[in-house]
Amino acid sequence: MRYSLEALQTYMKRWGWDIAVVSGSDPHGSEYTPQRWRLREFITGFTGSAGTVVVTQNSSGLWTDSRYFLQAEQQLANSGSVLHKEKPGNQTWSEWIAEYCATQGKEHVVIGVDGMCHSYSQIDELKRSCPNATIVSSPDYIDPIWTDRPALPKDKVWILGIEYAGTGAAEKLSALRKVMARNGCSAALISDLMQIAWLLNIRSNDVLHTPVVISYCLVEQDRVVLFADPDKFSTDILDYFGKTDNFELHSYYGISDYLKEYNVGDGIMLHSKTLNYHLYSILQSKCPDRIVDMEMPVNMAKAAKNPTEISGFRQAYLFDGIAQTRFFKWLEESVSNGKKVSEADAAAKMSSLRALNPQYIDDSFGTISAYGANGAYPHYDYSVAKKETYLEPHGLYLIDSGAHYRCGTTDITRTVPLGELTDQERFDYTIVLKSMIGLSMAVFPEHTAGARLDCLMREPMWRCRLNYGHGSGHGVGHLLSVHEGPQGIRQDSNPAEFVPGVVMSNEPGIYIEGKHGVRHENMLLCVEDCRNEYGTWFRFDTITRTYIDTTCLACGILSQEELAWIRDFNRICIEELSPYLEQSEIEWLLTKTK
Amino acid sequence: MRYSLEALQTYMKRWGWDIAVVSGSDPHGSEYTPQRWRLREFITGFTGSAGTVVVTQNSSGLWTDSRYFLQAEQQLANSGSVLHKEKPGNQTWSEWIAEYCATQGKEHVVIGVDGMCHSYSQIDELKRSCPNATIVSSPDYIDPIWTDRPALPKDKVWILGIEYAGTGAAEKLSALRKVMARNGCSAALISDLMQIAWLLNIRSNDVLHTPVVISYCLVEQDRVVLFADPDKFSTDILDYFGKTDNFELHSYYGISDYLKEYNVGDGIMLHSKTLNYHLYSILQSKCPDRIVDMEMPVNMAKAAKNPTEISGFRQAYLFDGIAQTRFFKWLEESVSNGKKVSEADAAAKMSSLRALNPQYIDDSFGTISAYGANGAYPHYDYSVAKKETYLEPHGLYLIDSGAHYRCGTTDITRTVPLGELTDQERFDYTIVLKSMIGLSMAVFPEHTAGARLDCLMREPMWRCRLNYGHGSGHGVGHLLSVHEGPQGIRQDSNPAEFVPGVVMSNEPGIYIEGKHGVRHENMLLCVEDCRNEYGTWFRFDTITRTYIDTTCLACGILSQEELAWIRDFNRICIEELSPYLEQSEIEWLLTKTK
C-alpha cells in the first residue's frame, strides 16, 4: 500500500500541491461506497467505513472515529500514514490543516481536493479555516495514480414493489414537489443515493450490502431527470417510469455538462451539506440567488417509515429472531462439543441461516464476528485480521450482523457467553444491558432530538467511570443503507427530531483492549404514546426479536424494573418465535432466558 | 399602559415604520436591566425578565417563555398586546415578522429597531429571514414617547477586594491580553456588564439586585478605556486603577463617537452575539477584515470560579442555610398558630433573616413567594398580583430566593408543606425531588455540555408524562447576576462545556394551573472526580445547605439510592449548621428531616 501514498506524493509535487485531502467518500457523500471510490483504502490500506486522509510531502494522517481506533492502528502500521483519533478535544483534520498552513511560512499553501468527493459545505468550511490557502478542486485526481481503478457497477436496476415500499414513486414525488413549490423552487437536485432509491422505489447492487443505484436525480415540477448508467435499466423499468412520470435518463458522467447548460428557472433546491462541491459550485456560479440551500424533504420523509415499511421491519426482525436462535443454539453446541469454529465460520453460518428465508436478499453489512479480545474492536473485521481466531468454550463472543429481506432491513448485535465468564465480563455484559434498557424505556415529548437522549444510555456507565466512543443509535434504511439519517443518538449535537416511524438502533458497548468487548443492539421504532396538557408524547417500541441471554447477568446492577423489562422482552420473543421453531429449539431458548 | 402602545403606533406612522421591535433588553444584552431600558414593560405592562415585543399598526405581540405564561396572560389582558408562547414548534417572533413581511403584498416592509438594544447577530438574523425588508436602526427611538424616562443610576462604584474576588484585575487583564494576542487582536470591546464587573473587580448598584456598573470596556494591550458615568467613580477608585493599569475613563454615551474615530490597530475582538448592533456596525463598516468575532474569553474564565470564590460560595450557602432554617421554623409556627402571613410578609421575613448576617449586601433577585395555586407561576411575582394571598395551614408554599453576601451569591428554592397535602401534591413534591437528585448524582466525562445532561432530570418526569417548560439549570455569578452563562442545562442546545468551578443551579419543577407548583433548587459546583483510561471525569458537589423536608414524601417513587442521597444531604446540612443554631432550632430541623 505504501506505493500508492508515495505515488500520490510524487503527483502532488508535479501539480504543485502542498496538501492533498482524500475524503474516502464518493460523489454522493456515501458512508459505504463502490470499490471505485475507496481512495482512503487505496492510499493508506485502512478498510474502515469512515475517515479522512490528509497527505503532505512528508506526512500522511488518517482521521477516524473510535469504532476503528484499534483496526486503524494495525492497518496503518508501516503504511506511512499515522492515526489521528477523532474525539472531543482532539484536533480535527481541518484544524490540523489550518495549523499546518499557519506554520509553513508560505504566503499561499495549495490544498488539492477531489471536489466530487466532498460536500460543498466541507470545502466551504475548509476555506474559512484556511483563509490564505488556495484550494484546488480536481475531480478524479486519483485516476493517473490508480491505474486499475474499478469501473462503475453494471448490475441491473429493479423496482421495489408497492407491496414492500408502501408508497408509490408518484406519490413521493408529488409530496416533494409541494415542498419545492412552497420554497419557490422549480427544481431539486438530489445526490444522496439512499434518497434517490427511496424516492423512485428503485434498487440495484451498486454498493456492497447497500442496494442503491449510482445516480443523481433532478426533479422538476413535471419531469424527472435521472443521471445513471443507461445499461443498468431494462426496457420494463423505463416503461414503468414512462407511465408514472415524464422521465428522462441521461448518462451518469454527463451531469456536469448538463448543469452548466441547465436553465434553473425560478429556483433550485440543493443541500450544501450533501451535494458535492463540484456540482454545487457549477450552480453557485451560475445563479447564486436562485439556490435554496436546505435539507431535502425526502430525507425526513424517508426516515419516518410508512405502515407497510413498519410491518415489513417487524417481519424482518421475526425472520432474524428465527435465524439467530438457530445460530446461537448451533454455536453453543458446536463450541461446547469441541468443534473447530472460526470467527469466519460463525459469520458464514449466520448468513447461511438467514439466507434460508425466501425473502432474504443479502446481508445488510459485513458481519462483525469477534471472539474474546477481538470484541474490543467495535467494528472488528475478521477478514482483515492477521490470523484466524477460533471460538473457545469460555469468554464472550460478539456478533453484529443483519440482512436485507424483501420486507425490511435488520441490524442486531448480541454478545453471548460461550462458557465460563470472568467477573469483569459478567459486569460489563450487565452494565451494557442496563444502558440499552435505559433508552428502551424512554418516554419523551415531541420535538426531542436524539442527542438529548444519549445520556440516558451513558449515565449508568458514566457512574462506573466507563464510556464508549461510538454513537448510541443510528437510523436504519428500508432496503437501503443500514445507517441513515437525519436522526441519530450521538454525543455530537444533531437537531433532527424524533417522529413516529423512525427506526433507530440502540447499541451501547464497552471495549476492554486485550480482553473483551460487549455490545448489545436492539432496534427501536418511535411511536406515539399519548397526548396530554404537556403536548404529544413519544416512546420506543423494540422490534428486535432475538432473545437476551440471562444466564450470565451480574447481580445487583439491574433494578427490578430493568429485570422486568428483560423478562417481558424475552417472553414476547419466545411467544412470537415459537410457531416457527422446533420443540428442541424452544426448550433451548427457555434455558437461555430463564 | 395602553397609552404607550398607541403612542408608539402614532410615532411609527410618522417614521414610516410598518413594524417596531422592542427587545426589552439594554445596550449590554442584560436580562435584568436598569429601569431606563424597561421598554417591554413600558409598552405592554408585562414585568417579566424575558420577552420581545413586536408592534404593527394593528397588533402588538409579546413573545416570552413558559416561566411567564400565566403572568403574561394576566398582565396583557386589555393591554392591546397578545401573548405568543415561546416553545418548541411555535413560531418565533422573527418567524412571525418574516410571515408578516411575506403576506403584506408590499415591496418593502420597514422594520424599526433600537440597534443599541439588540445584539448584532439578532439583527443580522432578522435581515436574513426578511430579505426584502428594510431595517431601520434608531437608537433610543423611545425617547420622544417615554417623556419621563428614568436617567442612568448614579450610585458609586466600589471595589470587590481580593479577599473576596480571589484574583486581581491585573491578573485577569493579563490572561485576557494573552488570548487577544493569540488571536491577533490589539483590542477587545466588552459590553456585557457582568464580564466588565468581574474583569475589573468593580461593583455598583445599577440594576436592581445585580451589582454591576453600566459601562463598556475597551481593553488594549497596555491600556483600559472604560466608558461609564465619571460621577460614579471616587478619586480612590481612580487612584486604584491608575496604579494597576493605564486606565482611562470616558463618558458612557461617548462610546459611539469614540469608536467612529478609533484606530483599531491589528484587530479587535468583538462578540456579535453580545455586542449591540449599533456599536458592532460602526466597527464593521470601518474595518470588517480586522474584526475577530468570538466569545470573550472573560466569559468562560468568569464562570469557572477560583478557590476564593468557591469557598465564598460555600460560606454563602451556609449563611443561607442558617437563615432559611429559622425562616421555615418561623413560617410553620406562624401559620399553624393562625397568624396572618401574606406572601409578601413571608418574603420580607426571609430577607430580614438573611440581612442579619453582616456580610449581607442585597437580595440577589426579587423573591418568588407563592402559596398554593400561585406556585403554578414559575416566576410568580406577588408584588404585581391582583390581590394579596395569605398562607393557610395546608397545601404547598414555594419560595425561590437568594442573597448577595460579600463572599458569594445564593439562589435556592424550597417547596414546603404547610399542613395536610393532597396525594397529587405529595406525588409532585416527590417526583420533582427525584429529578433534582438525578442531576445531583451525575458523573460525566470532560467536554460534556449542559444540554446533554438535561434529560437526566426530565426522564423521571417524562415517564409520568409530566414536564416543565423552563431550563433545568443556570450558572450563578459571584456578586453579579444570579443568572450567568455560558454553561446552562436547558432543552435548547448550548455547546458550552462544564469545567471544574462552574456553579450551576439544579431546579426542576411541576406547575399545575389552579392547584399548586413545586420546584426544588439546589446549587451545584462542578468538580473533578477522577481520571482513568477513558479520560477525565467530572461530577457535581451540592453546596446548598438548606434541609429538604422529608415529612411529605410519597412512597414508592424514590429508589433506595435516592433516599440515601437525601439522608446524606440532610445529615451534612445539620452537621454544618448545628454550630450556628439554637438547640430548639436543631430539634425542629431533626423533625423535618427524619
pLDDT digits (tens, 9 = 90+) for B443-494: 999 999 988 999 999 999 999 999 999 999 999 999 999 999 999 998 877 8
Q: Do A455 and B453 touch (CB under 8 A)?
A: yes
Query: Does residue A179 have a pLDDT over 50?
Result: yes
Instruction: Choose from B457, B467, B490 for mutation: most chain A CBs within 10 A.
Output: B467
- Give yes or no for A152 touching B (CB within 8 A): no
CA distance, residue A563 to nearest chain B CA (Å): 15
- Give yes or no for A451 touching B (CB within 8 A): yes
Query: Does residue B49 have a pLDDT over 60?
Result: yes
Contacts of B454 in chain A (CB under 8 A): 452
* Among candidates B447, B458, B529 on the partner chain, residue whose Cβ is nearest the Cβ of A89: B447
Query: Does residue A64 have a pLDDT over 70?
Result: yes
Q: Do B534 and A465 touch (CB under 8 A)?
A: yes
Q: Do A452 and B451 touch (CB under 8 A)?
A: yes
Q: What's the rounded Cα separation, in Å, for the pair B396 and B399?
A: 10
The three-state secondary structure class of B270 is strand
CA distance, residue A40 to nearest chain B CA (Å): 28
Q: Do B462 and A532 touch (CB under 8 A)?
A: no
Q: Judging by beta carbons within 10 Å of its beta carbon (0-12, 13-18, 19+), is residue A337 exposed, middle or buried?
A: exposed
**CA nearest to A496 within chain B:** B493
Cβ(A164)–Cβ(A308) under 8 Å? yes
What tens digit of pLDDT does each residue of B205-220 get?
Answer: 999 999 999 999 999 9
Give the model's confidence band at B3: pLDDT under 50 very low, under 70 low, under 90 confident, else very high.
Answer: low
What is the reported pLDDT for B237? 87
Contacts of A466 in chain B (CB under 8 A): 534
**CA nearest to A537 within chain B:** B465
What is the reported pLDDT for B128? 83
CA distance, residue A429 to nearest chain B CA (Å): 18
Q: What's the rounded Cα separation, in Å, for the pair B376 and B389?
A: 14
* Among candidates B88, B443, B467 on the partner chain, residue whose Cβ is nearest the Cβ of A462: B443
Give the model's confidence band at B257: pLDDT under 50 very low, under 70 low, under 90 confident, else very high.
Answer: very high
Spell out the residues 6+ positions from residue A184 whose beta carbon is closer than 8 angstroms to its own.
Answer: A266, A267, A292
Q: Do A491 and B446 touch (CB under 8 A)?
A: no
Window 522-551 of B, Cβ < 8 Å to A: 529-530, 532, 534-535, 537
Q: If you average pLDDT over each of A79-88, A237-246, B393-402, which comes out highest?
A: B393-402
Q: Do B455 and A463 touch (CB under 8 A)?
A: no
* CA-wise closest residue to A371 among A346, A397, A390: A397
Q: Do A463 and B445 touch (CB under 8 A)?
A: no
Window 59-118 of A, Cβ < 8 Å to B: 88-89
- Give yes or no for B131 touching A (CB within 8 A): no
Query: Does residue B511 have a pLDDT over 80?
Result: yes
Torsion of CA B237, B243, B248, B250, to 10 degrees: 0
The three-state secondary structure class of A531 is strand
What is the reported pLDDT for A244? 62
Beta-bridge mates of residue A415:
A398
Alpha-carbon torsion (B6, B9, B15, B19), positive or negative:
positive
The three-state secondary structure class of B53 is strand
Joined grid coordinates for residue A341: 469454529
Beta-bridge mates of residue B227:
B216, B250
What tens digit of pLDDT does each residue of B79-88 get?
Answer: 899 999 998 8
Considering chain B, what percentage of its residues have pLDDT values greater than 90?
87
Joined grid coordinates for residue B233: 467613580
Instruction: Choose from A465, A468, A497 for mutation: most chain B CBs within 10 A.
Output: A465
**CA nearest to A512 within chain B:** B533
* Among candidates B444, B495, B530 on the partner chain, residue whose Cβ is nearest the Cβ of A493: B495
Window 466-495 of A, Cβ < 8 Å to B: 466-467, 491, 493, 495
* Mean pLDDT calculated for residue range B312-338: 98
* Among candidates A442, A463, A530 on the partner chain, residue whose Cβ is nearest the Cβ of B443: A463
Cβ(B313)–Cβ(B305) under 8 Å? yes
* Mean pLDDT calculated for residue range B132-149: 93
* Among candidates B89, B446, B491 on the partner chain, residue whose Cβ is nearest the Cβ of A89: B446
What is the reported pLDDT for B347? 98
Sheet hosting strand A484-489, strand order edge to edge = A443-445, A535-542, A522-532, A503-506, A473-475, A484-489
Window 555-594 of B, Cβ < 8 Å to A: 559
Query: Does residue A1 have a pLDDT over 70?
Result: no
What tens digit of pLDDT does each residue of A210-263 get?
Answer: 999 999 999 999 999 999 999 999 998 888 887 666 899 999 999 999 999 999
Q: Do A529 and B452 touch (CB under 8 A)?
A: no
Ranges A360-374, B120-134, B331-345, B347-361: which has the least confidence: B120-134
Query: Does residue B1 have a pLDDT over 70?
Result: no
Better pLDDT: A503 or A490 = A503
Instruction: Choose from B465, B511, B512 for mutation: most chain A CBs within 10 A.
Output: B465
Q: What's the rounded Cα separation, in Å, for the pair B461 and B438?
A: 11
What tens digit of pLDDT does each residue of A375-424 get?
Answer: 999 889 998 888 999 999 999 999 999 999 999 999 999 999 999 999 99
Cβ(A437)–Cβ(A514) under 8 Å? no
Residue-averaged pLDDT of chain A = 95
In 3-state terms chain B splits into helix, strand, coil percentages (rounded to 5) of 40, 25, 40
What is the reported pLDDT for A562? 97
CA distance, residue A49 to nearest chain B CA (Å): 24
Query: Does residue A493 have a pLDDT over 90?
Result: no
Q: What's the rounded Cα separation, in Å, for the pair A529 and B65?
A: 26
Q: What's the rounded Cα separation, in Å, for the pair A234 and A256?
A: 25
Give the model's confidence band at B244: pLDDT under 50 very low, under 70 low, under 90 confident, else very high.
Answer: low
Query: Does residue B248 have a pLDDT over 70?
Result: yes
Cβ(A487)–Cβ(A475) under 8 Å? yes
Q: What's the rounded Cα separation, in Å, for the pair A506 and A475?
A: 10
Query: Does residue A107 have a pLDDT over 80?
Result: no
Contacts of B459 in chain A (CB under 8 A): 442-444, 456
CA distance, residue B139 to nearest chain A CA (Å): 32
- Give yes or no for A457 touching B (CB within 8 A): no
Sheet hosting strand A134-137, strand order edge to edge = A82-85, A59-64, A52-56, A19-22, A110-113, A134-137
